[in-house]
Amino acid sequence: MLLKTLIVDDEPVARRILREDLEFIEDVELIGEADNGESALRQIAELKPDLVLLDLQMPGMGGLEVARQIERGKRMPVIVVVTAYDKHALQAFEAGAIDYLLKPVGQERLTEAVKRAKRVSGLEAAEKLAELHEIADPASMPRPRKIVGKLADEYFLLNADEILAFLAEGNIVWIVTSKTKYFATQTLTALEKRLAHANFRRIHRNALVNVDQVRKISSLSSQRWLITLSNNQQFVASKRQARGVREILQW
């Protein structure tokens, strides 16, 4: 089944690059291009695409407004944002995007996004809305989607492998990297579920660590273990909670 695709971008060069890259992806049919938000909404209503590759920064009606105005019906398309700006990620996801690609987009990254769109496009509208942050088969993904972190008034897209740990302090969840801490936009439980197929393990009710960043596990007592990360940050875990980490490290 071909994935009917619409490209929306006000820059002709950007549309040409996406058009050429899509030619290397199987089962994709380009059915139209739009250079502004009004044209995009009109073509979405008329052509009923399965996938919309949507730029955010356009004169007049921007991509976020386009995403918010798409009718939530049985034929609603899957939206993948393609932009040069990383600060609108949270708003894009809230507006209905399933992925957020930063220009220049590599062929591999675009292919991954299209594959995810194929899995989601077969769902009914209600299911599709429920799957905005979780695809139907997470185990089939080659790697987790980027994690959104907030610092001051800016949003950053972080790769899972650059995150050392997530630390909950009351109602706040911090994303710990080697350079700084970001405010997480999801709860620790939601992050744990989302990263279930990556090397993240809960070692404390308030901490989720990247096992690839664990440098040392030391016994404090028969029931407690001290886990040291690559940035020398340390967490105390119970024997039961540390078991999952040890198993991954093949202890």
Same domain, 84 and 184: no
Report the number of distinct structural domains present in the chain.
Answer: 2
Same domain, 120 and 26: yes
Same domain, 25 and 102: yes
Same domain, 59 and 152: no
3-class SS of residue 124: coil
The last residue of a domain, from among 103, 118, 140: 140
The last residue of a domain, from among 140, 170, 203: 140
CATH number for the domain including 224? 2.40.50.1020
Give the domain extent around 38: 3-140
CATH number for the domain including 45? 3.40.50.2300
3-class SS of residue 24: coil
Same domain, 124 and 8: yes
- Look at the pTM and tell me if it is higher than 0.85: no
The last residue of a domain, from among 110, 140, 170: 140
Same domain, 9 and 132: yes
Same domain, 9 and 110: yes
Local confidence pLDDT in tens for the 251 residues of the chain: 789 999 999 999 999 999 999 999 999 999 999 999 999 999 999 999 999 999 999 999 999 999 999 876 657 899 999 998 877 777 887 788 888 898 888 899 999 899 888 888 764 444 444 444 444 333 433 445 678 888 887 888 888 889 999 999 888 999 999 889 999 988 888 888 878 667 788 888 888 888 888 888 888 877 788 888 988 888 888 766 766 566 555 54
Same domain, 126 and 156: no
Sheet containing strand 147-151, edge to edge, reads 154-158, 147-151, 181-184, 172-177, 163-169, 207-210, 200-204
Same domain, 16 and 136: yes
Same domain, 161 and 132: no
Helix ranges (H only) for the chain are: 12-22, 37-47, 63-69, 89-95, 107-121, 125-130, 188-194, 239-248
Same domain, 170 and 127: no
Same domain, 23 and 43: yes
